[in-house]
């Protein structure tokens, strides 16, 4: 009876060590207010940037990308999922609990008995064999590593969205500046053509053509203004902050002023991309799962010491039980082998997809850089022609209208150069996405 009572008395102590539930309600009003209150001067963000050695300085693409990694809900969700998977490591490494069984029993035969009731208790102690716990832990560790790599992949996707939004905003602002200049030149040309038409020097057709060009420029300017207005909102959404947070800081577009060399992009893309590394970790988890199923061919042992008190006698027992491995766990082993094969195929398919993405992005970037180089040459030639015409006007060789026309041509060449540079920067972003690394 002493063993039974001591065990019963120990139960409250064991139960007192249990984890208690902590309520964490979510309020839509509060979360909405928290979002509205976000800013790029947030103390938590500053600490995060300091950890990444990016504190201070202007808000470049890379620095805003770090802010997106801190704020954006997609990355926050990936981190939460990674923490959930990592919690499985503790579960996988736990030993199975022993099971205590206790219950009174009744003897119908009361001959020479003190009481028909007697107490019986039994303890079942499971003993895992063949290193099953180690295999489970390996599988959980590999799954946690895959989840961490997927956080990096989500963070890169956030950076890609930030870069696209910043490039669109930069392009819109530069186009506004260039098109406003071109619009003024068209208006000036129309004034001069109107005066010449009244003097009978030009036909109404030329004036009509000039007005059509002015209208096209106005439409292009309005489109650029629309893109600038929406660009700030897109950038704020990409970072994961309200629009006021982006408008409150000075943006640095200097990274869009050069076109870097591609570098050794192929090797990096095919060996170090975060999504590829996640699939490698998935394969490692599948291998650990196969090892676990193979280990399950060997049955676990269950020790069952027991005790009962009957007719004034203390009786002790010791039992051993194990599952007979008749089927040798053949079905789960076959499934685990198939899953490992699927994980391998998934990795190879993704690597092949990356190869294609890289070839396309590299070809596009090289062609876009060549186009930007040509546009630079044409813009320089147009500027030289404008300067030459200016000197001819000063020498009385041509009319002032010709100089305005050359200025319009130079302005149009600058707009075309801006479009070519944006196209090249877009191709550079696609190449960076294929590598999941920045071009230096």
pLDDT for 9 beyond 50: no
**Which residues, in sequence order, are bridge partners of residue 320?**
303
186-209 pLDDT, tens digit each: 999 999 888 888 887 778 888 899
Predicted local distance difference test score (pLDDT) of residue 426 = 97
What are the beta bridge partners of residue 125? Answer: 303
pLDDT band for 15, please (50, 70, 90 cuts).
low
Give the pLDDT of residue 316: 79
The pLDDT > 90 percentage for the chain reads 70
| Structure confidence at residue 1 (pLDDT) | 39
Q: What is d(CA 37, CA 278) in angstroms, rounded to the nearest whole number?
A: 35
pTM for the model stands at 0.86
3-class SS letters over 73-88? HHHHHHHHHHHHHHHH
**What average pLDDT does the segment 311-327 reach?**
80
Q: Which of these, 274, 232, 268, lies nearest to 251 by C-alpha position?
A: 232
Contact by Cβ (8 Å): 64, 54: no
Average the pLDDT over 59-78 and give the result. 96
* Residue 117 to residues 42, 111, 113, 162, 311, Cα–Cα distance (Å): 71, 13, 9, 76, 9
Q: What is the mean pLDDT of residues 325-340?
A: 94
Residues ≥6 apart with Cβ < 8 Å to 27: none
Distance CA 41, CA 20 (A): 37
The secondary element (H helix, E strand) that includes residue 142 is helix 132-198
What are the chain's domains?
52-107+115-435 (1.20.1600.10)
How do residues 87-125 score in pLDDT, each as one tens digit?
999 999 999 999 988 877 776 665 555 666 767 788 889
User: What is the chain's length?
Assistant: 440
CA-to-CA distance for 280 and 174, rounded, in angstroms?
A: 44
| pLDDT at position 102 | 81
Q: How far apart are CA 205 and CA 369, in angstroms?
A: 39
The pLDDT assigned to 399 comes to: 85
Which residues lie closer than 8 Å to 295 by C-beta, 6 or more apart? 129, 130, 131, 132, 135
What's residue 201's pLDDT? 78
- Which among 332, 344, 307, 305 has a CA at the least distance from the CA of 321? 305
């Amino acid at each position: 009876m002493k063993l039974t009572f001591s065990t019963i008395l120990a139960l409250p102590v064991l139960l007192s060590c249990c984890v208690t539930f902590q309520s964490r309600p979510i309020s839509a009003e509060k979360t909405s207010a928290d979002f509205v209150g976000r800013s790029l001067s947030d103390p938590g963000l500053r600490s995060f940037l300091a950890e990444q050695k990016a504190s201070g300085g202007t808000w470049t693409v890379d620095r805003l990308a770090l802010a997106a990694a801190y704020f954006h809900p997609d990355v926050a969700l990936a981190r939460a999922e990674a923490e959930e998977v990592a919690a499985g490591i503790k579960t996988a490494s736990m030993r199975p609990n022993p099971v205590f069984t206790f219950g009174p029993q009744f003897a119908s035969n009361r001959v020479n008995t003190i009481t028909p009731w007697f107490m019986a208790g039994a303890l079942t102690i499971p003993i895992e064999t063949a290193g099953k716990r180690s295999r489970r832990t390996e599988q959980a560790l590999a799954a946690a590593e895959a989840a961490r790599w997927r956080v990096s992949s989500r963070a890169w996707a956030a950076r890609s969205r930030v870069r696209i939004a910043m490039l669109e905003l930069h392009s819109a602002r530069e186009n506004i500046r260039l098109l406003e200049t071109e619009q003024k030149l068209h208006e000036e040309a129309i004034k001069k053509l109107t005066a010449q038409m009244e003097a009978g020097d030009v036909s109404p057709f030329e004036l009509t053509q000039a007005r059509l060009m002015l209208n096209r420029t106005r439409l292009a300017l309005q489109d650029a203004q629309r893109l600038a207005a929406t660009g700030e909102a897109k950038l704020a959404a990409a970072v994961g902050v309200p629009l006021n947070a982006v408008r409150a800081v000075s943006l640095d577009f200097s990274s869009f002023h050069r076109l870097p060399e591609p570098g050794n992009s192929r090797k990096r893309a095919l060996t170090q991309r975060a999504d590829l590394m996640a699939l490698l970790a998935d394969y490692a988890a599948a291998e650990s799962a196969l090892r676990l199923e193979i280990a399950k061919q060997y049955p676990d042992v269950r020790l069952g010491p027991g005790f009962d008190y009957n007719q004034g006698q203390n009786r002790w027992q010791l039992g051993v039980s194990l599952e007979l491995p008749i089927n040798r766990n053949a079905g789960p082993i076959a499934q685990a082998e198939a899953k490992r094969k699927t994980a391998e195929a998934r990795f190879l398919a993704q690597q092949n997809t990356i190869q294609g993405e890289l070839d396309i992005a590299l070809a596009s970037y090289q062609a876009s850089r060549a186009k930007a180089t040509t546009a630079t040459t044409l813009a320089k030639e147009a500027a030289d022609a404008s300067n030459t015409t200016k000197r001819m006007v000063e020498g009385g060789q041509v009319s002032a209208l010709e100089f305005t026309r050359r200025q319009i041509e130079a302005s149009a060449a600058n707009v075309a150069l801006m479009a070519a540079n944006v196209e090249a920067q877009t191709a550079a972003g696609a190449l960076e996405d294929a590598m999941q690394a920045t071009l230096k």
